[in-house]
Amino acid sequence: MSGNTFGKLFTLTTFGESHGQALGAIVDGCPPGLPLCEADLQGDLDRRRPGSSRHTTQRREADEVRILSGVFEGVTTGTPIGLMIENTDQRSKDYSKIKDQFRPAHADYTYHHKYGVRDYRGGGRSSARETAMRVAAGAIAKKYLAARGISVRGYMSQLGPISIDFKSWDGVDDNPFFSPDPDRVPELEAYMDQLRRDQDSVGARITVVAEGVPVGLGEPIFDRLDAELAHGLMSINAVKGVEIGAGFDSISQRGSEHRDEMTPEGFLSNHAGGVLGGISTGQPIVAHLALKPTSSITTPGRSIDVHGNPVEVITKGRHDPCVGIRATPIAEAMMALTLMDHLLRQRGQNGDVRVETPQIKQL
């Protein structure tokens, strides 16, 4: 295996480069009989698509997905689902100047040393463009999970220094930031406009929440649900940290504060983030992601070329000044893929999940 496949029973394999002909995926292990068509995937793809606001890369891609296999007369057949999106707006000349240079903080350096050869155009396989396929596959998982009462939603909880308190799910999809508080959008826009003038980039924090997840998903030791979530989320380009529930705040909490006390009506808090001992509790599963600032910026930076000579790197082209702005649907997809895989694994070992979910009291 060379790291292009995610999951055990419900698997996603992706292929393709940012400036190659197309991106593709094979989704295997999907149960038969799920009604599925392109429109089911396109909604989430449109949420991730480049060029949808002035705060993202201006590369214009329709990201129109085609289902090549695994669906017959409108339902999945249980055979591998092949997906494809053609690349239509590559501008590879933007990269000719830096083809022999390593952008500081970019995978250019590690790909070069690992493989000895690399498609430098648009970052090749290391480009975040690959995440389109995760989103398409995640939409299949989301649809299957939704039919079982499980939802997966995300929002931006911090843009650079600006933290955004959760207000409501209403309107999260109606602004380019996925802000859960629409009143903060002008502030976020002003921040991004200044950032663009500064020719710089910034990081972000995304929060993803799955609700309606039954008790019992996850394996107790190496394949803990939280470990697999961290794997899936950490595998997204630019992610440098993942927290489940209280995450690193657990360090300063006391046991009496951190513990989620239980009553016959349910849990009284959710510091665990919906996972205990690697297994879902039935509470909402809550994960937070830290995305680093985009490495491709026009502010000159010191680096070296492939021969080891010092160079000053300036990355021109069409780049996201904050990859976190488009990361919400990607994070949702990775959580949905992980939950889908574990739902099938739970069913495989223990039969259909029938344990009643305790009443949810609080996020």
Ligand X SMILES: C=C(O[C@@H]1CC(C(=O)O)=C[C@@H](OP(=O)(O)O)[C@H]1O)C(=O)O
DSSP bridge pairs for 194: none
| Nearer to ligand X among residue 67 and residue 136 (C-beta) | 136
For the segment 50-79, give every residue that binds ligand X (CB under 6 A). 50, 57, 59, 61
* Residue 357 in the binding site for ligand X (CB under 6 A): no
* Residue 317 in the binding site for ligand X (CB under 6 A): yes
Please state, in angstroms and rounded to a whole number, the distance separating the CA atoms of residues 55 and 52.
8
* Contact mark string toward ligand X, 176..215, x via CB under 6 A: ----------------------------------------
End-to-end CA separation in angstroms for the chain? 38
* Residue 103 in the binding site for ligand X (CB under 6 A): no
For the segment 251-280, give every residue that binds ligand X (CB under 6 A). none
Choice from 129, 143, 153, 342 touching ligand X (CB under 6 A): 129
State CA 25 to chain mean position distance: 16
* Residue 18 in the binding site for ligand X (CB under 6 A): yes
* Residue 329 in the binding site for ligand X (CB under 6 A): no
Smallest gap, in angstroms, from Cβ of residue 300 to ligand X?
Answer: 18
* Span interacting with ligand X, options 152-160, 212-220, 312-320, 330-338, rule CB under 6 A: 312-320
Choice from 296, 303, 346, 357 touching ligand X (CB under 6 A): 296
Choice from 7, 24, 123, 321 touching ligand X (CB under 6 A): 123
Q: Is the dihedral of CA 93, 97, 102, 106 positive or negative?
A: negative
Smallest gap, in angstroms, from Cβ of residue 212 to ligand X?
Answer: 30
Please state, in angstroms and rounded to a whole number, the distance separating the CA atoms of residues 135 and 330.
6
Going by the annotation, the residues of the binding site for NADP(+) are: 48, 54
| Nearer to ligand X among residue 129 and residue 153 (C-beta) | 129
Interface ranges with ligand X (CB under 6 A): 18, 50, 57, 59, 61, 90, 94, 122-123, 127-129, 132, 296, 317-319
